[in-house]
Structure 1
Amino acid sequence: MASEEIGLDDVLHSPYTQQLVAGFRMLRFSPVLEGEYRQYLLEESVDLKRVALFLGIILWTSFTVLDIALAAPGNLWATLLLRMAVLSPLLLTVWLVHTRTHLPLLQVMSHVCILSLGIGGIMIIGNAHQSQPNFPYEGLFLVCMAAYFLVGFRLIEALVCSTIIMLVYLSVELWVQLPTHQLINNFVFMANANLIGAVGCYLLEFKSREHFLTKRVLSLQAEQDSLTGLDNRRSLGRIFTRLWRQAKRESYPISMLLCDLDFFKQYNDSYGHQAGDEVLVRVASILNELARRPLDVAVRFGGEEFVLIYYNLTEAEAVQRAELLCHTLRRVNIEHGTSAATSRVSVSIGVAMIQPHLNEHFSDLYKRADDALYKAKEQGRNRVVCSCPC
């Protein structure tokens, strides 16, 4: 099929385009898109979480050296025990990141890790401040910055974690009776650091959401036919690969209906390309009606050629769908005075089927359907021919 130039207007009715137009200053999409975006963010942030996790383990362990150098002798063992306790959730998360499974649990553990690092650090600082008021607390800034920038959190997630850390810090320092002027100074610096982190996180999430929507719109432009709204030839291979994997797991057949409008070039020559486009849109509407199940696929394969892919149909059912398509198009009753097959727009269909346990591929299924379509044309068009013993 010749490449077609598709603009933003062609996908104007997609939810992604509508969300781009509506905006998302509050960092929130419509419910369906919000769920899709969160799943996308979860999958895209796994590598980022891996880097942050190993960096966190290295830094947390290296601070042990500072503890040995700076902590009072009476506090050292309690400090080292806290360090070891915080390492436990981090090491569990290493396994989750490595396997890339249980992504929802990985997200939960990311929250646990940030809070463990923050609260664990606060316990160490509070313990030290009982006897050493000048023991450094600035390591908490690193934890908060990690929440904003290094673990793939949305702004609301980072804010919740950082706010909890700030409130726990305030409570612990009040409990150990840190001098008021020092507590105010420390808390103001921490609050300002979190403000900077929150602004940066907002901008990052805004761009992330914009990238998500733009990527989806471009995907639609690349894989959707601009005239009919059907999937195009480019997307068929990807769709079939996904169906083939599922069919192999479940041992279900896949059927292909290869459809070609009869003498359509003559129709365009006689009635004009505008009328021809209207026919293609009508045919696409019929195909959509015949591909209603979740795994059914309707594709504009090129020009006047269309493909229907059916999952888990018997041979007889596949032929029945093809006959229904022929009958429905005849019933639409579009005049075609230059057709040698009939006086109305009609379609020839080749039907083929493959089983997933056989060593076959998309090209084998397409060749069978194409051979059957060729026979349908040889036999006078406006008919269905099946390549299998239907």
Structure 2
Amino acid sequence: MQMKPPFRTPHRNPLRERFAKLLPPLSFAEPLESQYRNWHREHARERVRFTMLPAMGLLLIVCLANGPFRDLREVLFAPDQMGIVDVLRFGVLLPTCLAMLLVTYTKLYSRWLELAAPAVAVLHSLCVIAFDLLMHRQGYSLSSVIPMLVLSAYMLFGMMATKATITATTIVVAYGVTGWAAGLDSGQRSFDVAMSCCALLLGFFFHYSFARTQRLNWFRNMMLTDSVHRDALTNIGNRRMFDVHIDRLWNQATRTRVPVALLLVDLDHFKAFNDHAGHQAGDHCLARVANVIAQSARRPLDVAARYGGEEFVVLLFDVKRDRVEELCRELHANLAALKIPHPASSVGPYVTVSIGAACVEPQTGRHHDGLIQLADEALYAAKEGGRNRTVVMDREYATLNTGAFRVPRTRKRIEAA
């Protein structure tokens, strides 16, 4: 992976290149951009939760509460305007505030925040602008609130830079256009629009600077994590990375109730290969096999790793047995296509692998050690059945007693045979 952050380069256009020198692009090249967006969504969640409750709660109190707040509304709005005010209060502000809180504090966050945040920000701003127009009849104005709404698009909803800028610009344009349409063309109104534009620019440059710094820090941390979690010989994940990933993936699969699969892949007679061809040839063989195995884990939540020695693992998220069997057949075929000579093998003239696969649906109260154990037993069965084959187990998980193997632990004797 590159040490220099791979930001997207602008198209070959003199004007865009000059602009890029002033404001370098924020987007990474794929697939890093998608990885960063997924990280940002979860990373911003705590901040959004911390700010959304007081913001939405305060807005609901001011707009809906009785007592002094009702007296204030009666002063700010004429009696014949209260029908419009009530429609905005109960028809727009109340449901959108509740919807935003629901999205923020439930499982809907990951799926709906990116759609809800800009929509709620614009709707709330339009309500405030409408209140401002109505209040002019009584001699009052909410012009001082508009810059706060513009800045909230950058700071409150956890939006990415482009979406926050579009949302903030929409608020400023709506404020200026509605004032012009209502005939509010005084010097004070022009000044208020100018202040909103200043808030727009200030929020943009602040958010841009913050976003670029955050992206650089994320990339550096990812590079550091990648170096710690990558196997130096095969250039795929190592045991440490697998242990971290399976714990996270197991918990996610338990919450979402989707199946996971684990493939344990072991090179047949690899000790004999090393004894015959030497350890350098063995290292080269491991690297080539690892490259084939990594092709089975191309989706974002799948992972391939070196489990130890000549043993590899492939962890697959939300996958069924028929797909696992298909992937194992592809893996055998791709490895056979390499035609790595193995004169010391009793299976055939080329390097082969045995695969033990386990397909389970995680359940609350069960640990992923059971998944590993089931795949281990399947691999043992593949070895005992003659090697260069796949054994898939799934129904056996229902009767599995984690930590108590149902087959004799004679693998060392089988490996040496």
TM-score normalized by the length of structure 2: 0.67
Kept in 2, the 8 Å contact 1:287–1:308? The answer is yes
2:195 is paired with a residue whose SS is helix
Give, in whole Å, the separation in 1 of the partners of 2:165 and 2:335. 59
Give, in whole Å, the separation in 2 of the partners of 1:94 and 1:296. 32
Kept in 2, the 8 Å contact 1:326–1:346? The answer is no
Q: Which has the higher contact order (CA 8 A, sep 6+)?
A: 1
Give, in whole Å, the separation in 1 of the partners of 2:54 and 2:169. 22
Q: Structure 1: any 5+ residue segments left out of the alignment?
A: 1-10, 383-390
Matches within 5 A, 1:349-388: 351-354=355-358, 356=360, 361-365=370-374, 367-368=376-377, 378=413, 381=416
Give, in whole Å, the separation in 2 of the partners of 1:369 and 1:316. 13
Q: CA deviation at 1:348?
A: 8.3
Q: CA deviation at 1:147?
A: 0.5
Counterpart in the other structure of 1:100: 107
1:306 is paired with a residue whose SS is strand
Counterpart in the other structure of 1:223: 229
Deviates more, 1:99-108 or 1:113-122: 99-108
Give, in whole Å, the separation in 2 of the partners of 1:137 and 1:115. 16
Closer/same/farther in 2, CA of residues 328 and 79 from structure 1, 3 Å limit:
closer
1:19 is paired with a residue whose SS is coil
Give, in whole Å, the separation in 2 of the partners of 1:143 and 1:314. 50
Q: Aligned letter for 1:37?
A: Y
Counterpart in the other structure of 2:96: 89
Counterpart in the other structure of 1:115: 122
Q: CA deviation at 1:35?
A: 3.9
Q: CA deviation at 1:90?
A: 1.4
Counterpart in the other structure of 2:284: 278
Partner of residue 137 from structure 1, selected from 118, 122, 143:
143
Give, in whole Å, the separation in 2 of the partners of 1:346 and 1:193. 68
Query: Residues 288-340 of structure 1, C-alpha deviation per residue, up to 9 Å, x if partnerless?
Result: 56x478698643222444346687369999997898799677x42378xxx7x
Counterpart in the other structure of 2:397: none
Partner of residue 152 from structure 2, selected from 125, 146, 159:
146
Give, in whole Å, the separation in 2 of the partners of 1:120 and 1:87. 11
Kept in 2, the 8 Å contact 1:48–1:152? The answer is yes
Q: CA deviation at 1:151?
A: 0.7
- 1:185 lines up with 2:191 in the alignment: yes
Counterpart in the other structure of 1:28: 27
Counterpart in the other structure of 1:158: 164
Counterpart in the other structure of 1:388: none
Closer/same/farther in 2, CA of residues 78 and 207 from structure 1, 3 Å limit:
farther
Give, in whole Å, the separation in 2 of the partners of 1:104 and 1:326. 39
Closer/same/farther in 2, CA of residues 202 and 283 from structure 1, 3 Å limit:
same
Give, in whole Å, the separation in 2 of the partners of 1:34 and 1:315. 29
Q: Aligned letter for 1:117?
A: H
Counterpart in the other structure of 2:50: 51
1:121 is paired with a residue whose SS is helix
- 1:333 lines up with 2:320 in the alignment: no
Q: CA deviation at 1:68?
A: 3.2
Query: Residues 226-268 of structure 1, C-alpha deviation per residue, up to 9 Å, x if partnerless?
Result: 221222212334555648959x96779755333362157757x
Q: Structure 2: any 5+ residue segments left out of the alignment?
A: 10-19, 64-68, 384-408
Counterpart in the other structure of 1:209: 215
2:6 is paired with a residue whose SS is helix
Give, in whole Å, the separation in 1 of the partners of 2:189 and 2:302. 64
Kept in 2, the 8 Å contact 1:253–1:313? The answer is no
Give, in whole Å, the separation in 2 of the partners of 1:21 and 1:120. 38
Give, in whole Å, the separation in 2 of the partners of 1:57 and 1:26. 33
Counterpart in the other structure of 2:265: 257
Counterpart in the other structure of 1:4: none
Q: CA deviation at 1:44?
A: 3.3
Q: Aligned letter for 1:306?
A: F
Kept in 2, the 8 Å contact 1:52–1:146? The answer is no
Give, in whole Å, the separation in 1 of the partners of 2:232 and 2:115. 41
2:265 is paired with a residue whose SS is strand
Counterpart in the other structure of 1:38: 37
Q: CA deviation at 1:17?
A: 6.0
Kept in 2, the 8 Å contact 1:162–1:194? The answer is yes
Q: Aligned letter for 2:147?
A: F
Q: Aligned letter for 1:235?
A: M
- 1:312 lines up with 2:321 in the alignment: yes
Q: Aligned letter for 1:258?
A: D
Closer/same/farther in 2, CA of residues 325 and 227 from structure 1, 3 Å limit:
same
Between the aligned residues of both structures, percent identity stands at 20
Closer/same/farther in 2, CA of residues 48 and 219 from structure 1, 3 Å limit:
same
Give, in whole Å, the separation in 2 of the partners of 1:297 and 1:148. 35
Give, in whole Å, the separation in 2 of the partners of 1:322 and 1:176. 69
Give, in whole Å, the separation in 2 of the partners of 1:156 and 1:119. 20
Kept in 2, the 8 Å contact 1:233–1:302? The answer is yes
Kept in 2, the 8 Å contact 1:223–1:231? The answer is yes
Closer/same/farther in 2, CA of residues 377 and 323 from structure 1, 3 Å limit:
farther
Give, in whole Å, the separation in 2 of the partners of 1:156 and 1:318. 39
Q: Aligned letter for 2:360?
A: P
Closer/same/farther in 2, CA of residues 77 and 155 from structure 1, 3 Å limit:
same
Counterpart in the other structure of 2:76: 71
